[in-house]
Structure 1
C-alpha cells in the first residue's frame, strides 16, 4: 500500500511583542526623514540606526521590472515625469532620485527590487515589501521570483492593501509572512486575518484608535499589530501602552533611541 506524504506548512516566525519588549521598528521607505525615500541612501540611514526592517514600495515598469517607488508617477521624487508604468526600466535607471531631497544626494537612483535585495544581502537588513497599487498575477509572480532567486525568503515580509495580492503570494510562496494594510478597520479583523493566514494586521494610527481593543483579539489569534505611519513620541507612548507590536515610521532612528530609553527607564 502506498502512502502519500503531505508536507507540513512552513513554520513562520512570530512577530508578537513580549510584555516589556521594545517595539518593532519598520523604517518607512528607509530612513526617509534623513535621506531621499526608497533609495540606497535611505536604506543605509536606517541600517546605520540599527533598524532590522526596511519598508519599501514595489511597482512594475512598462517592461515589467519591479522597482522601488511609492507614487504612481516619478514626478515628486525624481527629475523625470510620467507614470512609472509608462517608463521602461532603462529609462527609470537614468533618473536622479536624490536631488529633490538635498543636493548632497544628487545621483541617487530609483532602485530595482533586485538591487535593493542585493544591498540587503551585502550590507544587512530585512525587507517589509509593500506590493503597491494594482498588480496582475504575473507582476506578483515576478516579485516572488526576485525574492526566491536571491534566497531572501527568510528576510522578506510582504504586505499590501489588496487581499488578492496576499492570496497570490500565499500560493506562490507560502513561507513568506503576510501583513494586511488598512486605512479603515475591517468589521472583523480576526476573520480576515484567519482567511488570509496573516502574520500581521497593519492599520493606520487613526483607524486603530477607533477600536483599540482589536489588538487583544488579534493577539489571541496569533496575529501581530503594526501601526502606520507613527512619527511622534506622544503617539509612540500611547500606542505602546495599548499593546501594539510595532510602528512603521519615517523616524526610525528616533524611535530606536526612544525604545532604548524606555527600556532603561523600566529596568529594575
Structure 2
C-alpha cells in the first residue's frame, strides 16, 4: 500500500506551535505530503489560521476570533505557550500561509525546464479546514485566496460541518472535499456521494472499530484519513485497515516509519 499520505496536523505540531508559520514550514521539511491547518475569519472579514474558537489557549489574549479585529489578533503573541524559543510568533493570515506553502506545492517553470518533475521533486498539498461559524461570503474569500495563488488543484477543503462542505462544493466545484467525522454511521456512503467527497476523515478509533466502513468508502472512491494517531503502536493496524493516510502531529517520525516500510 505505497503512497499513503503523511499529513502534518496543524503543521509539525510536535516540534513547533500549532498552526503557525514555523510549524507549517517544519511539516514541509519533515516530509509531509499534506499540510493540514485550520481557518477562521476575524470580525473584519480576514481569514486567519488558528484552531480554537478563542485565542485564549495559544495566546495571552482572550476572546472569540469572530469578535476580534485583525489588528487585535495581529498584536497577540502565539508561540510562548509552546516554548520560549518561539516567543514573538504570531497567528498567521491565511495569505501568509499560502505564500509560505505555495513554492512547495507548485513547480516553477524554471524547475520544469531543468527536468524537475513531481516525480523527482514531490510536491505538497494543502488540507484546509474551514471552522464554523462561517458565512458564504467568508467561504468565498477563503477560496478566492486559494484560487489567486493557483492552488485549487493542490488543495483539499474539509470541515466537520456538512453545510460548509456543500457550500465549498457549490462555490468551487473543482476543489476536492473532505468531511471530518467523529465516527462512521449508516449514511456515510450516501453522504459522501451527495457531497462529492474525496475524503472522509474520522477519529482513529472509528477506523480501528470498523475497517469494513473504510473498505466500503474506498470502493466508492473515497479515501479515509483518520485523526490523530500519535501513538506509533496504532499505525500498523490503521494501515492494515486500508486508510489513505494518517493525520498526526509527529510528521518526522511518520515519514521515517512509512519510508522504512515502503509505504511512502
| Alignment TM-score, normalising by the size of structure 2 | 0.89
The residue that corresponds to 2:12 in the other structure is 31
Q: How does 1:146-161 map to 2 (within 5 A)?
A: 146-161=145-160
Structure 2 stretches lacking a partner, 5+ long: 106-123
Identify the residue that residue 226 of structure 1 maps to in structure 2: 225
How far residue 138 of structure 1 moved from its aligned partner, in angstroms, is: 1.4
Residue 123 of structure 1 deviates from its aligned partner by 4.9
| Cα deviation digits, residues 60-90 of structure 1 (max 9, x gap) | 1111111101011101111211111111011
**Residue number among 84, 88, 98 corresponding to 1:103 in the alignment:** 84
How far is the alpha carbon of 1:34 from its aligned partner? 0.3
In the alignment, is residue 75 of structure 1 matched against residue 74 of structure 2? no
Q: Partners of 1:122 and 1:215 in 2: how far apart?
A: 33
Pairing 1:162–2:161 present: yes
Deviations 1:208-267 (A, max 9, x none): 233220111111111111111111221111111111111110111110010011129xxx
Q: TM-score, normalised by structure 1?
A: 0.88
Cα RMSD of the aligned pairs, angstroms, is: 1.3
Q: Secondary structure at the match of 1:263?
A: coil
Q: Which residue number in structure 1 is paired with residue 203 of structure 2?
A: 204
In 2, the alpha carbon distance for the partners of 1:97 and 1:237 equals 35
Deviation at 1:22, TM superposition (A): 4.1
Write out aligned runs for 1:58-137 (5 A). 58-124=39-105, 125-137=124-136
8 Å Cα contact 1:99/1:106 also seen in 2:
yes
State the alpha-carbon separation in 2 of the partners of residues 206 and 26 from structure 1.
17
SS at match of 1:228: coil
Mapped partners of 1:90, 1:123: distance in 2: 29
Structure 1 residue matching 2:102: 3-state secondary structure: helix
Contact kept? 1:30, 1:54, Cα under 8 Å: yes
CA displacement, residues 81-117 of structure 1 (integer Å, 9 cap, x when unaligned): 1111111011111111111111111111101111100
Question: CA separation in 2, counterparts of 1:170 and 1:99?
Answer: 38
The superposition leaves residues 154-191 of structure 1 with CA deviations (integer Å, 9 ceiling, x where unpaired) of 22110011111111111111111101100021222111
CA distance in 1, matches of 2:209, 2:132: 25
- How many angstroms apart in 2 are the aligned matches of 1:181 and 1:70? 14
CA distance in 2, matches of 1:210, 1:240: 13
* Greater radius of gyration (CA): 1
Which region of structure 1 is more displaced relative to structure 2, 146-155 or 192-201? 146-155
Whether the 8 Å CA contact 1:22–1:259 is kept in 2: the answer is: no
Question: How far is 1:130 from its partner?
Answer: 0.5
2:81 and 2:199 map into 1 onto residues whose CA distance is 34
Distance of 2:151 and 2:3 partners within structure 1: 25
Contact 2:54/2:63 (CA < 8 Å) preserved in 1? yes
Secondary structure of the corresponding residue to residue 44 of structure 2: coil
Greater shift after overlay, 184-193 or 95-104? 184-193
